[in-house]
Structure formats: structure tokens, C-alpha cells
A and B are shown apart, each in its own frame.
Chain A
Amino acid sequence: MWRQAKWDVEILTEIDNSTARGSGPEVPFTHQFKDIELEVPEELARKTEPNIPSLSELEVVRHFIRLSQMSFGVDAGMIPLGSCTMKYNPKILDALALNSEIEFLHPLQDEDTVQGLLEILYTTERWLAEIVGLDKCVFQPPAGSAGEFAGALIIRKYHLDRGEPRDEMLIPDSAHGSNFASAAMAGFKVVKIPTRGDGCVDLDALKAIASNRTAGIMLTNPNTLGIFEKDILEIAEAIHDIGGLLYYDGANLNGIMGIARPGDMGFDIVHLNLHKTFATPHGGGGPGGGVLCVRRDLIDYLPRPILVREGGKLRWDYSCGKCIGMVRAYHGNITSALRTFGYIAMLGPKGLREVAETTIINTNYFIKRVLEKPYYELPYSPEKPRKHEVVLSAKKILNDTGVSAEDISKRLLDHGVHAPTMYFPPIVDEALMIEFTESEPKREIDRFVEILHRIAEEAYRDPSKVKGSPTATSVGRLDLVKANHPKTLAPSTRYVRGEGGSR
């Protein structure tokens, strides 16, 4: 029986300073500058003492080791979060990304001094362009959402330059929430496209909605139901015919990598999530890596700088004729790019395809097994094979027992398994969105199925037990009303102390 560690760990900014009277580690070269005057005039000096304790090194180590033991990563167990692609993060890749050489490289240092690094970035960029079937990529967007935003800006600028500003972006109702937000940030009005009964974009609705106001469409394929948009060539034709562009949200690439390419489907712009498909760690929320790729005639629009080869040397080209500007300072999350280089190199062309092939087999194996018992349902064409992920519905269990998708998710935690993505996409009631990636062994998938069945049976037998879960985690269900209520909001210890005053 799994039990998560549980420590009472003091909050650092609440530690009584009188009990933590260390004076911190030696700071390099302090002694060499003791004779230099410290010029901090009274009126510019800090007057208040921050509540930050000075602990010994061991106390710091124990503090964070204990916190790490109350955390849950892929290294400890399965995280089948749909659309998040929580695959194994190979350890060797850390060695490429995290070392004192990389830590000391300044983004503006002379290009002549970093030709080796630029070669790796350029090579990786070429590989990614080949994987998506487009012509040029940049690492600048720091995450998928930033890539979407940059892509939406390209679409906007493209139409402006043609003298026909267009203000509508089409997005399927099953799309990732960030698509809507990114399009809005780029100044677009979002127009939702409905999903057909078979789980694909409603082509007729799309054709009826598309007009000369349509700037483009943002799609992920396979979509969030795990279903391949089989009409993609017709969708591309319909959008291109009215002068729009196709944007590919790469969050779901894992299910088709090496099998089919967005560029071949007619997509003009693609973003990739290095922290999904290319195994860079998710870091408890980030940092990730977004990569933006475009077809040849859109290269001028890419955010600057872009990496170019000239006379045998690589350099950053900052010239910005039509470009959309800069979506973040410098060259992107380089640590993620380096890991991606290693990931592709160690898998090779056949290995990359194997990623998608095994992912698809894992998904469909799971579907067959989990549907063997009559608890969970598979809405939208249950006979259709899924690709990288599958969305089950726990609606029947809810109706029969009152146990919700959230309750099931919480009960999963008690088995040392992370919950799937819940209540997404919104077109599925009581959705449980599940993605194993290529990383989960068959044994683990089998165990996961058994746990899902056991929880369903428990729901029929003893619903209160499921509703009362989790109990094996370091804390039980939390009071979210208290957490979010303006009167009890507690986003920092300073806020709780009330020093900043209230309005």
C-alpha cells in the first residue's frame, strides 16, 4: 500500500529569526573588497528587514528534501495527464543542458565564441523542421502558449501586409484553452467550430463559418479526443481557398511523429512543446520550450533573431523587415533545446517513429482493456482508434453512484498514480483525459486499468470512501473556498501578516 511522506515543514518566511542566527555561506571574494567604501546613502538604503532566515546548509537540505518527498514526478510514478505528454526525462540529457559551461554563456557574447553551441542549435532546428515538414524554426518562444501567440501574430501581420486585415480566428470547441487565450492576446475575435458526432471538426460548419474575415484556424491533430482529423486535407483546402492560414498546435504531436507531418497536411505554422514531445522535464510547471516553425514564405515574419549560416559561420540575424518583433528576450530556453538535441540523437529516425507507434498501441490497448468492464464510457466514435490520448467519461458512474470524475481522480492518488486531466475537453461530460506516452510499461498500464475498475466498483459499493479520498497523500482534500475567498486569501506570508495594508 502506497503512502506518501508527510513532514511538518516550517514555512521559511515564518521561521523565528531568533532561532536561525547563522550568517550564511562565504560569498566569493568578499575579503578582497573590504577596504572599498560601501556607498548606500541613508535615503536610498533598505530600512525594513525581510523575514528570510539564515539557516545552516544541512537545514536547507533537509527542508527541501522533505518537500521533495511530498512531491510527485514521473521518476516516482505514472502521470497520465492527457495533452500534457508526461514522458520519461532521460537522465543523460541533463548532462547536456546543466553544466558550468552553459551556465556561463551570455546570450550576447560574440558569435565567434559560441560556434559549437550554435551548431547544435542549428542542427536541432533543422531536425525539428524535418519532423514537422516545414522550412525554418526558432527556439525563441519559451513555451507552447508563447509559440501560439507568436504564430497568431504572424497570421495577423501576414494579412495586414496583404492590405486585408482579418479579425477572426477559427478554433474548434475541443481545443486547448491556451489557443483561445493566445488568439485573443494577438487581437483576434475567436470563432468556435463545433465538433461532429464522430469527434472530428465539423467540416460543413467550418465551411459555412469561414469567410473573408477569417485570418486562419488553430488546430491540433490528433485532436484532444485523441482522434486524427481525417478531413484535414479538405480543411486545409477550405481555409487556404479563402486566403487563411493554418496553425498547428504541437501539443499532441507525440501520436504521429515520424508517421505523418503537419507541413504535409497543409499547416503553415507549427509550434512544438519540447517539454512534451521531446522529453524535456516539466519542472513542476516549467520551464518548457516552445519552438515555432513556418513554411518558406513566412520566414520573414518569424520573431527575431533567427539563426542563419553565412560563409561557413552561424550568426544571429536581428534584421526585422516584416517580422512580428520579439516574443521573449534572446534565443529561447536553450537548456530545453540542448536536451532535444540529445533526445533525437539517441532515438534516431526509427526511434522517433517508435515513440509514436508505441504511444498509439499503448492508448488502444488501454481502451480495449478499460472498456472490458461496463463502468467507463468512450464518447465520440468508440470504434475509432485513438492516437496519443483518450478521453473517457465517468458520467455513468456519477449518475449511478454520485461519484464524480474528480472523486475518481482523487482516489487514484491513493494508489500512487497521478490523476488524469479532468473535465477536459469540455465537450465530454465527467471527462478523464488519459495519455501514457511511449514511456509507460504494459505492466503499469495493466495496473492502472485494474485500479480504475477497482475504484468504479468501490463507487458502487461504498461511494463515501471514494468521495473521502485521498487519504494516502501527505494531505487530504483542501478547502478551496477558503483558499480563494478574498477574506481568507493567503498568497504570501507577508500578505497574511497584513503589512501591506488593505484596500
Chain B
Amino acid sequence: MYHVWIPNSSEELKKDMLRYIGRSFDELIEDIPRELILRRDLEVGFGRPLSEYELIRIYRSYMDKNRKPKIPPFMGGGLCPTYIPQVVRYLASRGEFYTAYTPYQPEINQGILQALFEYQSMMAELYSIDVVNASMYDGSTAVAEAFRLAMRVTRRKAILAPEIMNPFYRRVAETWIEPVGGKIIYYRVDRGGQPDLEDLEDKADRETAAIYLENPTYLGNIVEKPEELKNIAGKTGSLYIVFSEPTSLAIFKPPGEYGADIIVGEGASLGLGLNYGGTTLGILGVRRDQSLIRQLPGKLVGMTTDLKGSERGFTLILQTREQHIRRERATSNITTNAALMAVQAAIYISYLGMSGLRRLAETIARKTRYAIDHIYRRREYMNLAIGARYFYREVPIRFRGDYGTIYRRLVDQGIYPGIRLDPLLKGFSNCGLFCFSDVHSRDDIDLLFESIDKVI
């Protein structure tokens, strides 16, 4: 059957090629046991090849069953809606980038390699850390790999993580480290969203591979003394892992400046969009320390010269860490990563530039503050779920009434409020985690709170 995606599928051409081969097609598959040969058509698709137009019609008929919100969603939890500038979309959809393979042949892929090197370098600038790899799948797996990395370097098994750790990341990290004997011990966080240092001191010991911090926390607040955690880690010879929302680092102190050994992040906010949770970008980096660098998972691009030493060039480096060479002794099994997302993030950051990035972060911080003022004016039925002083982008709201009902009524009106923390985080019943990002206008935020007033 000829198909326009399969050049040699015309019957005549296939016949010619088989004649040249000197065998029939059945002879080419004669080593497959007869009883395994499928004697019927697969029951897939719509029974016949569709034209593009028919496909689009069917796609639309499905997608039209989705409900569209009136205004951009306020759902947070580490992923917030964001606008993708057209220039970012355009450049990231260049076929030379998106139809390329991993640049194992550097000479023919200098462009992708430089773009990835620039991504690594820009992330290193933002997080104030020295080495950032060429991407992990997403934030959750980047955190899991950071934990595994710390376990390998320290040869210890325990990770200390905040009790308000992103609950999805928590489940992923537990899944990833449990088979190799790792365990996560959760330290207390006080009512102001700050790590309980006494509890941490109690729990940290010579078994602690790393202390993990999310800053801003999962609940959106800024941790005010993050360097204290470094001190505790230092006393027990543990590593310090910090997860940060990258845009926040345009205005807040970056993890590298308060002692992080390993940094982690989720890059969806860098012009990638939500994509229903995938495809996003995992950011993972380490301090300049050869033992950390040697244990870093994933691809890494480095700068070098050609053999004559006369021209600059880029290539994948330290590949002996990786599965295709080291096999069962590799630092990770990761092969395919999120390279195009890293390139897209690099394009987004260079489009905004440092000035644009700072203005973006400042505006988000101001919006967050503006939303908090709305909350304060409604103290009779809502309040901040944690009494922190500073928030960035996300705010947890505790409602006096049943948040499930409020949530449902708002969704029915086309306003998607904060995600329900109820089933996700212990001690946060009737709480929603709201996000205020670049896409929300003052009117949107006003409408959200006015709508809450009406349904409460």
C-alpha cells in the first residue's frame, strides 16, 4: 500500500527491490515462527489511512469536548501557565533542531551543541553554580537523580527533605531511590514555611547523604535563612541540594550563593508551556567539584578546539559516565533527555535577556503580593495557609468553608482556581495552591477573588 510518508511503498518499487534482493517478502520474514505471524489487520486507527484534513477534523471533534476556562488557570504546584513568545516558537520549530538526533557526531551538529552549551551556561549563571547538564526529563526526575547522585558521592542512603516537599516529586523520588536502598526522612517545617532547624539537627547524622530544600517552597514562600541548612549539612559531611524555580532567581538569591552543592529546577516557566504536565525540562547542576562532576548523570556539552587547536568547537563530554559506554555501572540509564526543551529555554532566556527576565520576576512577585492583599481583605473566610513573609508566584490559601465545593463551583463557571492540596499534603485540608504568573492580568486576579466571594 503506497503512503506518502513511505517513499518505497509503491508496489512496483517494492517488487523491483525484492527482485534485486532475490527473495520474496515472505522469505525475508521466514525466520519468524509461522504461528507468530499476524494474519489479520491490526485493529488500530480508523480502519483506513486518513487524510490530513480528516485527521484535523477528528482531532477537533475530540478536543472540542474539553472545556475552556474564561481566563488563564490559577493552578500551581510547580507548573504554572505561561506565554510562549512567537519568536521562541518559531526558532524552536526549526527542522534542523527538532529533527536532529543526539549530537554524537559533533562536527555536523555544532549548532545544537552550542545552543545546549549556552543553555548550560545560562542556567549556571542563574543558579550561580558551575556545571549544569544538558537536561533531564523534568523537575521530578531531576530531583530523583539529584538524590541518587548524592547517595553515590557520599556512599550514604538517607535524604532529608521538607515535609512540604512537592508531593509528586516525593513519590517519584521514593520510587527511584527505594530499589537501591535509599530512604527519605522528612524534616518539619514551621508555620511560617521555614525549615525547623532543630528538627533538622536532630535528624541529620553520618547516614545523611543530603539535605534537600525547595526554595521557593512547594507552597510558594521564600526560605529566609537557607544558608543555615548548609551549616547543618557541613557538620555531618552531607551534601546540600536546592530546588528553585528558575525565574525567581532573577531577583532572589540563587542557591549557589548560599552553599548548594547540587541545584535542581523545572524549566517549564522558561517559555515551554504546561503541555498537560509533559513535555517539560529538568534542570540539574553541581558545584565545581570533580567527584560531583564525575557522578553527574545525563549529557554534558563542553567547549574545546579542533585538533589543530585553531578553532573553537563543542562536543559531548565525560561520556564514560553514561549507559552507552558504562552500561550497568553508569551514573544513570538516561539516554533521550529533553534537549529541545533546553534549546527552547535558551531561546526564551536570550529573548527576554537579563533585563526582561528581571522585569518578569518582579512583575510576578508584585502580582503575588497583589493576590495576597486580596486574601487579607477576606480574612473572614480565607487566609494564607502558611504565615510566611515573602511569596513568589504561588500562594496557599486556607478556606473556612469546604474548598472542594468552592473549587467545583468555580470550575463550573470557567475559572480554574488553585489545585486542591487536600489529598496531596497532610495538614492542608480545605487549602488551594494558587499560581499567579505572567499570563494573569489585574482584571483576571480581581475576577478570581470576586468569583470566590460569590460562590462562598
CB-based contact A190/B97 at 8 Å:
no
Q: Which residue of A lies closest to B414 (CB)?
A: A113
A residues 162-195 in Cβ contact with B at 8 Å: 177-178, 180-187, 190
B8 touches A362 (CB 8 A): yes
Question: Among residues 40 to 68 in chain A, which have CB atoms less than 8 Å away from a CB atom of chain B?
Answer: 40-41, 43-55, 57, 60-61, 63-68
Which residue of chain B has its CB nearest to the CB of A359? B6
Q: Which residues of A contact B327 (CB under 8 A)?
A: 177, 180-181, 190
**Among A205-213, A239-247, A479-487, which stretch is in contact with chain B?**
A479-487
Q: State whether the Cβ of A378 lies closer than 8 Å to any Cβ in chain B.
A: no
Contacts of B9 in A (CB 8 A): 354, 357-358, 438
Residue-wise interface mask of A (330-351) relative to B, using a CB-CB cutoff of 8 A (1 in contact, 0 not): 1111111000011011111111
B138–A329 CB distance below 8 A: yes
Given contacts A41-B390, A349-B44, contact A284 B340 (CB under 8 A): yes
Mark each residue of chain A from 376 to 415: 1 if its CB lies under 8 Å from any CB of chain B, else 0: 0000000011010000000000000000000001100100
Tell whether A11 pairs with B114 under 8 Å between CB atoms, given A24-B357, A64-B94: yes
B125 touches A51 (CB 8 A): yes
With A109-B75, A112-B411 given, is the CB distance from A287 to B338 under 8 Å?
A: yes
Are B337 and A44 within 8 A (Cβ)? no
Tell me whether A495 and B355 are in contact in the complex, defined as CB-CB below 8 angstroms, given that A41-B390, A45-B252, A342-B55 are known contacts: no
CA distance A283 to B9 in the complex (A): 27
Q: A81-B101, A178-B323 are in contact. Are A490 and B337 (CB under 8 A)?
A: no
**Contact across chains for B108 and A4 when beta carbons are under 8 A apart:** yes
Interface residues of A in 306-342 (CB under 8 A from B): 324-336, 341-342
Would you give the shortest CB distance from A137 to chain B, in whole angstroms? 13
What mask results when residues 168 to 196 of chain B are scored 1 for a CB within 8 Å of chain A, else 0?
A: 11011011101111000000000000000
Cβ of B110 within 8 Å of any chain A Cβ, yes or no, is yes
Whether B278 and A333, one on each chain, are in contact in the complex, defined by CB atoms closer than 8 angstroms, is yes
Contact present for B114 and A441 (CB under 8 Å): no
Which chain A residue lies CB-closest to B291?
A503
In contact, A60 and B87 (Cβ under 8 angstroms): yes
Interface-forming stretch among B156-164, B231-239, B268-276, B379-387? Answer: B268-276
Residues of chain B within 8 A (CB-CB) of A108 are 75, 77, 277, 419
Q: Is A491 an interface residue (CB 8 A)?
A: yes
Q: Are B252 and A361 in contact (CB under 8 A)?
A: no
- B115 at interface (Cβ–Cβ under 8 A)? yes
Question: Shortest beta-carbon distance, B97 to chain A, in Å?
Answer: 6
Asked if B354 and A53 sit within 8 Å, CB to CB, the answer is: yes
Please, how many angstroms separate the alpha-carbon atoms of A358 and B116 in the complex? Answer: 35
Q: A52-B125, A57-B351 are known contacts. Are A492 and B179 too (CB-CB below 8 A)?
A: no
The digit string for B298-313, where 1 denotes a CB below 8 A from any CB of A, is 0111111111110101
Contact B276 A105 (CB under 8 A): yes
Would you call A227 an interface residue if the criterion is a C-beta within 8 Å of the partner chain's C-beta atoms?
A: yes
Given the interface pairs A46-B250, A145-B333, A361-B17, the reply to whether A110 lies near B411 with Cβ below 8 Å is: yes
B446 to chain A, nearest CB (A): 10
Decide: B337 and A54 in contact? CB cutoff 8 A.
no
| Residues on the A chain within 8 Å of B121, using CB | 11-13, 492-494
Complex interface: chain A residues within 8 A of B253 (CB): 44-47
Q: In the bound complex, do residue A113 and residue B416 qualify as a contact, i.e. CB atoms below 8 Å apart?
A: yes
Q: Are the C-beta atoms of A50 and B441 separated by less than 8 Å?
A: no
The contact of A350 among B41, B55, B130, B290, by CB within 8 Å, is B41
Contact pick for A142, options B37, B41, B138, CB 8 Å: B138
* Stretch in B78-86, B199-207, B394-402 with 4+ CB within 8 Å of A: B78-86
Whether the Cβ atoms of B313 and A478 lie closer than 8 Å is yes
A192 to B276, CA, bound (A): 40
Contact of B330 among A107, A181, A283, A336 (CB under 8 A): A181
Contacts of B106 in A (CB 8 A): 475, 478
Complex interface: chain A residues within 8 A of B366 (CB): 33-34, 36-38
Q: Which residues on the A side are within 8 Å of B66 (C-beta)?
A: 101, 105, 113-117
A143-B335 in contact (CB<8A): yes
Contacts known (A260-B37, A349-B43, A486-B290); A27 close to B353, Cβ less than 8 A: no
Contact of B62 among A119, A181, A335, A347 (CB under 8 A): A119
Question: Which residues of chain B come closer than 8 Å to A364, judged between CB atoms?
Answer: 21, 23, 28
Binds B, one of A146-154, A292-300, A450-458: A146-154
A116:B289 contact, CB within 8 angstroms: no
Kindly name the residue among A54, A287, A351, A358 whose own CB sees the greatest number of chain B CB atoms within 10 A.
Answer: A287
Q: Does A71 belong to the interface (CB within 8 Å)?
A: yes
Check if A203 is an interface residue, CB within 8 A of chain B: no
Q: Would A71 and B33 count as touching, CB distance under 8 A?
A: no
Asked if B42 contacts A69 (CB within 8 A), the reply is no
Ordered nearest first, which 7 A-B pairs have the shortest CB separation? Answer: A24-B356, A107-B277, A54-B353, A283-B340, A285-B339, A330-B277, A325-B175
Known pairs A27-B352, A53-B354; list 19 more (Cβ under 8 Å).
Answer: A12-B121, A39-B369, A48-B257, A102-B276, A106-B274, A177-B326, A181-B323, A283-B97, A284-B109, A327-B176, A330-B277, A346-B5, A351-B49, A385-B28, A474-B107, A475-B107, A476-B306, A491-B300, A496-B303
